[in-house]
A and B are shown apart, each in its own frame.
Chain A
């Protein structure tokens, strides 16, 4: 048994990842990101990529809710904000350690999602989108009202980091080096979290539950007539997606170390996953992740450091690129890339078993003629 186990892992790795071209591309992209710090990038680029990892989790979670269940939410920042504020407030008032506050943040995100999910049982489509837009604004209002605790528009400062600087200085690194290593450690942490959440979201989207989700997206009445409790599944979708969004929010709070309503509950943040998903391919999960990396590095790094474009021009350039891509590949870039590879795969399959398939096609056409 013991000798066969690594072998089994190896074969399942080959058949499930390497043999499928689009997954191989995803693996290569991940390896690229994993090896990226070897080149010793600047602190800014490292920071941008860390932030991108977090936003990618956030965007992918939106895609599960909208692309797979069809519950359009334009207030997804609510869950991000709930995650960030829960962990910050728990630290501020109870000084709880990180490993306790982040799970609690996820839990509170999920329970808020169930509450917020109830309107979705009454209103549908664009109406739900409008209702959901209000939720982050309501929370912002509450944060301003309870400003003694939440700090109002100034937010909460001085949150602990994942890897305190002392951790590296004790290992004998000089202070400047320790600062850099801290950034690298945070980058790896967020990258691994992204990998884990990406795989988990993809697994959920393609599981038994995922099939039921799509049935609700396609035709809710028909889904009910199949004996599916659509109410339960919709609330479940809200809870799952909120878990990942609030995880992103909580991690964000400890990377940036300060949070405020402008950075965690803004309308811009709510629309970010919408743009990423439209750009990357709706309902794919990996699409928004890929799109986040392209758009965020373009917006936060290339247009600022590589090509020095004045900040005021960014939205325009940004929108032109997005619109061109959406017109050119309406199903999103990720879908376009995988389609390319899947086509190749189909062609190869035809080559290998050509005669067999040809026979079957012939038989089918003769049946339809008869």
Chain B
């Protein structure tokens, strides 16, 4: 049984079909990359999985259970967490409290180890992404790169089985990108399954073992990063047709 199984997913906004008959599956312990040019429907795809948008047709199954069209918070409590392309911190709350919101959720509070306080756990989550020094700083004072990491810590606080990262490297400096790559690798070692949407192919190629290419809402190719780099269709989508 696959961890996540998506069949014939379709979503349209008025006349525009953002996602067209996409079927794919994700297995436990994988890092899967989703790439595609601007407007390919990558973020819409994430919104559909995480419940922020309801699909027109198709099914999404998580561990064999149908989760199509459930409320976002229910999906999180089933074990799928996500981050946002544009950071969405709780600006008035201190950094540590941002993580504690996720620990207040039913799944988050259930996953706290025995004899451990939520504060302690939140601090550990911040240590994992290197933000523990800023723990009492209100989130509005954090730099963009720090906010990106805070989003990941917040998503990880619910101990998801599947983590969806929406452009985690967007707007990061090369050093920060490298740092984040390492912490994503560490998350993978810890046994998290990850799906990453990314523009920066270079960073993604290092991480993902399997890449899915979307173009105008359709899945046009799937395979290892090396295969994709040679795939004619993919090159055509990114570079234009060779004449």
Contact = CB atoms under 8 A, between A and B. Distances in A.
Interface of A: 208-209, 211-212, 214-215, 217-219, 221-230, 360, 364
Contacts of A225: 50, 52, 72-73, 76, 81-82, 84, 88, 155
B57 interface: no
A229 B75 CA distance: 11
Given A208-B104, A215-B98, 4 more contacts: A217-B92, A219-B90, A222-B84, A226-B76
B39 interface: no
A70 to B, nearest CB: 10
A225 B83 CA distance: 8
A227 B108 contact: yes
A250 B174 CA distance: 63
Given A214-B93, A219-B88, A222-B89, A228 B81 contact: no
B73 A229 contact: yes
A230 B90 CA distance: 14
Contact of A224 (B72, B89, B104): B72
Nearest to B143: A368
Contacts of B98: 215
A33 B119 CA distance: 37
B52 A226 contact: no
Interface string B56-97: 000000000000000111001100011010001111110001
Nearest to A367: B133
B197 interface: no
B100 A227 contact: no
Interface of B: 50, 52, 71-73, 76-77, 81-82, 84, 88-93, 97-98, 100-102, 104-108, 118, 133, 154-155, 157-158
Contacts of B50: 225
Kindly name the residue among B50, B72, B82, B101 whose own CB sees the greatest number of chain A CB atoms within 10 A. B101
A198 B207 CA distance: 53
Contacts of A364: 133
28 contacts: A208-B100, A209-B104, A211-B93, A211-B97, A212-B101, A212-B104, A214-B90, A214-B93, A215-B90, A215-B98, A218-B89, A218-B90, A219-B90, A222-B90, A223-B101, A224-B72, A224-B73, A225-B52, A225-B72, A225-B73, A225-B81, A225-B88, A226-B76, A227-B105, A227-B158, A228-B101, A360-B133, A364-B133
A254 to B, nearest CB: 38
Given A225-B76, A227-B108, A228-B73, A214 B92 contact: yes
B73 A227 contact: yes
Contacts of A218: 89-93
A219 B83 CA distance: 13
Contacts of B76: 224-227
A214 B102 CA distance: 13
Contacts of B107: 227
A209 B154 CA distance: 17
A221 B92 contact: no
Nearest to B100: A211
Q: For the complex, would chain A's binding face be called helix, strand, loop or mixed by DSSP majority? A: helix
A224 B100 contact: no
Contacts of A214: 90, 92-93, 97
Nearest to A227: B105
Nearest to B107: A227
**The 9 nearest A-B residue pairs measured at CB:** A227-B105, A227-B76, A222-B88, A226-B102, A218-B90, A224-B72, A215-B101, A215-B90, A224-B73
A221 B73 contact: no
Given A208-B118, A211-B100, A215-B101, A227 B88 contact: no
Contacts of A219: 88-91
Kindly name the residue among A219, A221, A225 whose own CB sees the greatest number of chain B CB atoms within 10 A. A225
Contacts of A208: 100, 104, 118
B155 to A, nearest CB: 8
A219 B76 CA distance: 16
Nearest to B139: A218
Nearest to A211: B97
A220 to B, nearest CB: 10
Contacts of B73: 224-230
A227 B93 contact: no
Contacts of B133: 360, 364
B106 A227 contact: yes
B101 A211 contact: yes
A221 B52 contact: yes
A267 B90 CA distance: 33
Kindly name the residue among A214, A215, A219, A226 whose own CB sees the greatest number of chain B CB atoms within 10 A. A226
B71 A224 contact: yes
A222 B155 CA distance: 10
Contacts of A224: 52, 71-73, 76
A344 B90 CA distance: 27
Kindly name the residue among A208, A219, A224, A227 whose own CB sees the greatest number of chain B CB atoms within 10 A. A227
Nearest to A364: B133
Nearest to A68: B92
A228 B105 contact: yes
Contact of A227 (B77, B89, B92, B118): B77
Contacts of B89: 218-219, 222
Contacts of B106: 227
Nearest to A370: B175
A100 B104 CA distance: 35
Contacts of A217: 92
Contacts of A222: 84, 88-90
